Amino acid sequence: MKTWSLGALFWYKFKRNHLAMGGGIVVCTLCISALFAPIIAPYDPGFINVDAVLSPPSWAHPLGTDQLGRDVLSRVIWGGRISLLVGFVAVGITICIGMTLGALAGYYGRAVDSVLMRFVDIMLCFPTFFLILAVIALLEPSIWNIMIVIGLTSWMGVARLVRAEFLSLKQREFVVAARAAGARDLRIIFRHILPNALAPVFVSAILGIGAAILTESALSFLGIGVQPPTPSWGNILTAGKDNIEIAYWLSLYPGLAILLTVLGYNLLGEGLRDALDPRIEP
């Protein structure tokens, strides 16, 4: 019987999942294009050309132009940079809050667990998107407010996931040994238990990036997200809505960018979850 190292086993199971590999390729491509947007984009995304207003796709403008003559391809590339930034920062906030509260609830249990989980239940009673809308309506729409609000309203699932992992792991022998050796609670939580609970959190973070990008696009489409002239897939779609009958490309290409990005992250997250699951045989 073949013996696998953890890394080799993970990679073997992951690469056999063709959908997950496809999602990984999409995510890597988007990250590279966002990182090198100043080099890849053929035009300045804010450059206005009144002689090319609502031009259809051509050699000069592969994805056409918008109502101000701005190149759609350049704006989609730069919009991807904004969307990925929102996704990563918002999920970073989500993971920090969720891991902290979930770890405390799972490790201490009893009264601490009861209070924190009831707070999670209260937060889950509010529809997340409408809660975000309510908070954004009270604040000035900006990219930083969007990232913070999405992060502060999306941590509940991570908290429950980490809590479940801690309830299982805190009874293991290595935790009992660390406690018998005199290790303090914070050291046991963050040094011994948390590293062993990161695999499902990592998968949740990957899936959360796609959800955060979708939320940001919806908010920008409604006009309360990233504000023009900063390009975002959502506000490009808003311009497309106003010109849908004469300029289909303004809706088609940013819509495809959102679809491929969210689909890519979902496929990658599902593939990572299967690859990290020890119950699934190679």
pLDDT tens digits, residue range 191-212?
888 888 888 888 888 888 988 8
| Cα 29 from Cα 23, distance rounded (Å) | 10
pTM (two decimals): 0.85
Helix (H) or strand (E) holding 180: helix 173-180
pLDDT at 1 over 50: no
| pLDDT score of 278 | 60
pLDDT at 5 over 70: no
Q: Which residue bears the tokens 């809050």?
A: 97
Fold observed for domain 50-67+83-255: MetI-like fold (1.10.3720)
In whole numbers, what is the pLDDT of the chain averaged over residues? 85
Q: Which residue has the higher pLDDT, 81 or 9?
A: 81
pLDDT at 97 over 90: yes
| pLDDT score of 168 | 85
Q: Distance of alpha carbon 168 from its chain centroid, rounded?
A: 27
Strand ranges (E), 110-163: none
**Range scoring the smallest mean pLDDT among 125-129, 159-163, 254-258:** 125-129
| Cα 44 from Cα 17, distance rounded (Å) | 39
Neighbours of 228 (CB within 10 A): 14
Helix (H) or strand (E) holding 79: helix 72-108
